[in-house]
Amino acid sequence: MRLPLCLAFSTAIASLLGTLPRGASAQIAAPVRVESGLLSGVSGSDPSVRVYKGVPFARPPIGELRWRPPQPTAHWDGVRKADRFGPSAMQPDTGAFGPWTREFIFGNEVSEDCLYLNIWTAAQDAKAKRPVLVYIHGGGFSGGSGEVAVYDGEELAKKGLIVVTINYRLGALGFLTHPELTRESDHYASGNYGLLDQVAALQWIRKNIAAFGGDPGRVAIAGQSAGAVSVHLLTASPLARGLFQRAIAESGFGPARYFTGTRDSAEQNGVKFARQKGARTLKELRALPAAELISAGPGIRFGPVVDGYFLPDDAQTMFEKGRRNDVPTLIGINADEGSSNSAYGKVKVDAFRSRARQRYGNRAEEFLKLYPVESDAAAGSAEKAADRDRGVVSLAAWAEEREKTAKSKTYLYFFARAIPWPQHPEFGAFHTGEVPYIFRNLKKLERPWEPADRKLADIVSSYWVNFAATGDPNREGLPIWPAFDSKEPRLMRLDAASAAMGLPELAKRDLFTKTLND
């Protein structure tokens, strides 16, 4: 008798990874010993899963530790309860907006004391050596949290992973670069404190995750948006060497040199920021309440920088020279990345043609022949089609460039399934829309889910589990996902019917490749 596809796969992966059957009791219930003391966790909604929330991985970066590299946690006496999430990093409370409903937004308190991580495990004992997925939240390096509802790791833990979500410093508190900070540094570097927090979390995981049934030699880092950019930069940083063995970047690929600013320009921004806050010295800046440092004036934005320490050079240059943490990499985009823009897909014919001439210059007529429009409705559809094709071609160009210097495999995806949302069909497969499927957390959102969504969530989450475990998303019972090969470039279309797909027609590919290289 042949098992149904999903059941056959579930049986195979349970055998491979030792997943517990639903309803079994978690065995790691006694206090767990980590390097700083004893921790007690709580049961998940499924008793097979044990959850440890708000686990400190570094000292609170407050007072004199503000704008310094993270320091090891202090030892505590007795058993520390890990039963609630730690505070999120300081950030503005934007609330839900656009396609990002409350399930995608942090919901707890914010504090400068924010360096905590959360662990979900269904391992029966500390000898299980399960693969580990470390998820880095998005938010433009100015928002986000490891406690966001759609990142709940219970379902992936039931599938055999140890899931870890982390917090890291954001905005000015995480990425301020300033001449005085540079001079006081042992490495003559400033900025990137949020990225150093990520390194510290990975170091903590390497030292301690075995106590939760995890394998420190099988760690996958994953992230979406700014989290995906973080994954790219960790792949470039010598400080992260050996701390992970796989990398997953969701909606954050691209020429990595554009992810970072130069130290000189960042220092100028830092000086300008300090003046805005009325601080004449670094001491005065450190004395300001954290809440006063959340907002910055016009023209100032904080993010990663080429600091000479975490990043010796811009990541793209390092990649081109073959200087990377060479691990299997899985990356992709969603079909409607730009749909949070209220004008998405609503362009009129004249504006469509005008934008084409601005963007493509002397190639505009070539573009308009490939995407002809005669009506406003057709212009909106053509705009979406062109954006999707350009994104897919950009993915392939990135993978082809990686292929020149990396020995490990690359897997590409195009996520095309729109979350069912009768009130807002315009958002389509929006930026972040893949996350509930990856975590198999459809239940976190009140939507009219269809059987196709549940099937896709099971398939996609299984791909992520497989990749974290082995560096290859494939397993018997799943649609075959080919590794990228520039001689026959293919990527995985994740949709109601998932299957490998090729690139757009050659003329479109040539056009977009040329514009990428301009």
Active-site residues: which are they?
225, 337, 431
Please count the other Cβ atoms lying within 10 Å of the Cβ belonging to residue 14.
15
CA distance 259 to 274: 24
User: What H or E segment, with its residue span, contains residue 40?
Assistant: strand 37-40
Residue that has been written with the tokens 């396609």 in this structure:
99
Greatest extent of the chain over all pairs of C-alpha atoms, in Å: 77
Q: Report residue 263 as tokens.
A: 């130290």
CA distance 97 to 230: 24
Cα dihedral across residues 472, 323, 239, 198: positive or negative: negative
3-class DSSP string for 83-151: ECCCCECCCCCCCCECCECHHHCCCCCECCCCCEEEEEECCCCCCCCEEEEEEECCCCCCCCCCCCHHH
Beta strands in 200-323 (DSSP E): 214-224, 246-250, 261-262, 305-306
Q: SS3 for 38?
A: strand
Please give the distance of CA 307 from its chain centroid, rounded to a whole number. 22
